[in-house]
Structure 1
Amino acid sequence: MKGIKEIVRQLIKKHRSNDPFQIAKEKNIIILFAELGTTFGFYSSYKRIQFIHLNNQLDEMMQRFVCAHELGHAILHPKSNTPFLRANTLFSVEKLEVEANTFAVELLLPDDVIDQYQDTGLTIYDVAKMYSVPQELVYLKNFNTKTKRIFLY
């Protein structure tokens, strides 16, 4: 299987966007917003129809990250109905969750976006916040050699 970074790179190229909502729409994945309490979101499929469920109480930035995370499940784990993503499971070490988080980080922070901030004085955490990535998950970014030198941690 290709690496997550390469899967995301090809996805962005194909859809000409790194917007998880746009990509989901173009892939005919239905996004549903509902009051989910402490649940941020989850992915499910039924008879080949894919759904991303998002908590409508989350702010726009967090909805964007959760949508990217659940899109990761839809693409990487299409046959697995995923457990609910909650605040306390956002940082799970479970393999499928780490893969979905890595997918989301790579989608929202592709190398070309990061490269735009070279020599700006911003840290990777500043850039991550601007692009809806929780700073606690920045470590999942697979930096290329050039990009790694840009930022002060």
Structure 2
Amino acid sequence: MDVKAKVNQLIKRCGTDNPVAIAKELGIKVMYAPLGGRKYGNYIKYKRVKTIIIDRDILPPHLFRFVFAHELGHAVCTPNENTQWLDQNTLGVNSSRVEYIANHFATELLLNDRYLQDHATSSIYALANQQGVPESFVGFKQ
């Protein structure tokens, strides 16, 4: 899957790189609710309804955009994968691939080429910090 192409297509289609606005444009349901643990967000698809759930009670505000974009990545790139089921029933065999794709998607969305061009005087690490992208994921940008 060409994640970068998928991101660029979505930005063009939706006219924004804002993950919340993109979810709304795509008709993805968004809920804010406790997830009962250490998970900041979750994506589920039930009866063909895509839903992103964000736990605002424990999510650090500076990570909101990244976590939301990560869950959006699941909805867009791997919409039929249930990562919780994969983790519990296959010892994570496919979940690492699914999580890799979602992290790549979130990084490409929040640090898309247009955003980097518009802020060319700043380092990619400073921009990642502003966008809430963990430094360890900056390597997704080539």
Shared fold (TM-score, shorter chain, > 0.5): yes
**Corresponding residue for 1:25?**
24
Give 3-state SS (helix, strand or coil) of 2:83's partner.
coil
**Quick check: 1:73–1:82 contact (8 Å CA) kept in 2?**
no
Q: Distance in 1 between matches of 2:30 and 2:67?
A: 11
In the superposition, the TM-score normalised over structure 1's length comes to 0.80
**Corresponding residue for 2:90?**
none
Give 3-state SS (helix, strand or coil) of 1:113's partner.
helix
> How many residues are paired up?
131
Q: Which amino acid aligns with 2:29?
A: I
Give 3-state SS (helix, strand or coil) of 1:115's partner.
helix
**Corresponding residue for 1:107?**
109
**Quick check: 1:40–1:54 contact (8 Å CA) kept in 2?**
yes
Q: Which runs of 5+ in 2 are unaligned?
A: 86-94
Identity %: 41
Cα distance, 1:55 vs structure 2: 1.2
In the superposition, the TM-score normalised over structure 2's length comes to 0.85
Cα distance, 1:123 vs structure 2: 2.1
**Corresponding residue for 2:91?**
none
**Corresponding residue for 1:98?**
100
The structure whose residues are more often helix, as a share, is 2
Q: Distance in 1 between matches of 2:46 and 2:34?
A: 21
Q: Distance in 1 between matches of 2:14 and 2:83?
A: 24
Q: Which runs of 5+ in 1 are unaligned?
A: 85-92, 144-153
